[in-house]
Amino acid sequence: MVGGFMSHLCDRVRRWWRAPITVADRIGGAVFGLFGFFFIGAIGRALLGVRPVGFDTLAMWGVWSSGAGVLIGIRFPKVTTCLLAPLMLIGG
CA distance 55 to 8: 45
The per-residue pLDDT for range 10-50, each reduced to its tens digit, is 898 899 888 888 899 899 899 988 888 888 888 877 777 77
Average pLDDT, the chain: 84
The per-residue pLDDT for range 39-66, each reduced to its tens digit, is 888 887 777 777 787 888 888 888 999 9
In order, the DSSP letters of the chain are -HHHHHHHHHHHHHHHHHSPP-HHHHHHHHHHHHHHHHHHHHHHHHHHS-SS--HHHHHHHHHHHHHHHHHHHHHSHHHHHHHHHHHHHHH-
Question: What pLDDT shows up at residue 67?
Answer: 92
Residue type, 8: H
Confidence of residue 71 (pLDDT cuts 50, 70, 90): very high
